Structure 1
Amino acid sequence: MANTVQMEAPASVKPTKATFMKRFTRDFLLNKYLYLMMVPVIAYYAVFHYAPMYGAVIAFKDYTPMKGILGSEWVGLAHFKDFFGSYYFWRILKNTVVISLYSLCFEFPAPIILAILINEVRHQVFKRVVQSITYMPYFISMIVICGMINDFTNADGIINTLLTYFGYDGHAMLQKPELFRTIYIVSEIWQKIGWESIIYIAALMSIDQEQYEAARMDGANRWKQIVHITLPGIMPTIAIMFILRMGNLLNVGFEKIILLYNPVTYETADVISSFVYRKGLLEFGWSYSSAVGLFNSVINLALLITANYVSRKVNESSLW
């Protein structure tokens, strides 16, 4: 009987994990032109967004231009304490939160509704006309927009002229604190609804049309198709846009507010951003305004992280 020699199987060689630099070098060589296209974007954010963050240190100093950032006296949390204890703190915080919530409740759903309505339209010419008309206000200068709002809401403006037929007193609407928030939100919807609907229209185009055909064969009407197909199909996009909106919830656009408000409407119109503008640029309170702005940024960061966490737990859609 022949002797058989059993050969030992060679031990399996464990693959070594490539280091980060090796993987980055390999990916860079494969996509060098894409990396080259990223350079201007990275440079923009580095120069205009990250480098200026160093200046936030003046919120903890009594900053004067003659002494500079490093030479100014350190005062710690003094400016934050002054802001939290001031008469204006609760007023501007309330106004900011109320206007932001109004925007979230009315302005945020508006482009979603418009996108769904446009998607349901079958007449292509009418669809293009609606899209063009709703896009136009977004490309008008903010100063022109605010001038139009002032003209429309003046005592002799077109809106007051129409409302006088229904018993309105005809006074300038922007002089009434109780009407400022309504005017602001309505004008925001009018200005941005068309532009913000573009991303939702793009999301609607990615939905598989066979799902609608199957639903029609099962007897589903247009409303049921929207509820069970359209909305779930664009829900990841809605979640991402909602997270981004929450991250800027308290950043109420101060440009429009500054152009529309006046001392009569400070009670309901003055927000954190407009308060920072007045204190920082008009009253030269650089350190105080920086403290207020830093407080606002911290709150926005907390809201962004919270919204991202909740979205990831609820529908598995998140930024990270």
Structure 2
Amino acid sequence: MSDGSPPNVEMAQPAYLGLTEGALRERAEGLRALASPCRLCPRACGVHRDRGERGFCQAGLAAWVASFGPHCGEEGVLVGEGGSGTIFFSGCVLRCLFCQNATISQLGEGEELRVADLARIMLHLQELGCTNVNLVTPTHQAPQIVAALSLAREAGLRLPLVWNCGGYESVEALQLLAGIVDIYMPDFKYGDDAAAASLSAAPDYVERAQEALREMHRQVGDLVVENGVAVRGLLVRHLVLPHGIAGSEAVFRYLAREISPQTFVNVLAQYRPAHRAWERAELARPITRAEHEAALAWARRFGLDRAGPH
């Protein structure tokens, strides 16, 4: 049975192996320049991290890591035989009321590390047999990550790089990641800005996510899966929320018509009230099977053949 990948695609080496050491360092320096005054995410809050200032995400210029290790609960195409080598970064550019990782993303859990330590974590994940290096919530720490990647590559890192983000991204920053990231895995949380403003403090989320998706797809194309494992491309996550408040219809319409009908989409049914969700009546219960099936029906209606529970 076909896994939905384009036919006759050769296995590719990780993208960053095609860049010189100097080119990787230049990308890290370019991203660091975006951090002071900070415009690494669409908030462009303008803080000077090089002076110790911290903005909305609360990150500085050190790598800020909550945990790392093989993870077998990701999409099957990322797990492979050794698990996805996840690194959970602390802080976030969003403030989702229902965040399941709020202690990490919003409440400051984690430890600041040197770039060399982050590079060693990447290499350790490879030694453990992980399928990839999966960078979870990396947007606001892009300079540190690319600097660490440069060190890890010189020490023998050869795993594909997964950029596992919230979808609220700066195109300027993404352009500096071209030729570095193999698999972009953004959330596409909302099809409606009013919901994004109310639930994630991001009133311009939809337009910014749409711009980011276009740039990501331009760089890596549709998801390529070889022998059951993703090697390159775009994988989108959409979490179905109660009462249809995520705007799933608009999300799937945009992906099918403006990105690609072959976009690989994980339509998530895992919503449960967490963090501050209990403050909102519309978020205070899990989704129903009917709500998830209704979202899947919209995806099918728009011709997203690779959308489903993955």
Which of 1 and 2 has greater Rg? Answer: 1
Considering fraction of residues, name the structure with more helix: 1
Band of TM-score, shorter chain: under 0.3
Greater RCO (CA < 8 Å, at least 6 residues apart): 1
- TM-score norm. by structure 1 comes to 0.21
- TM-score norm. by structure 2 comes to 0.21
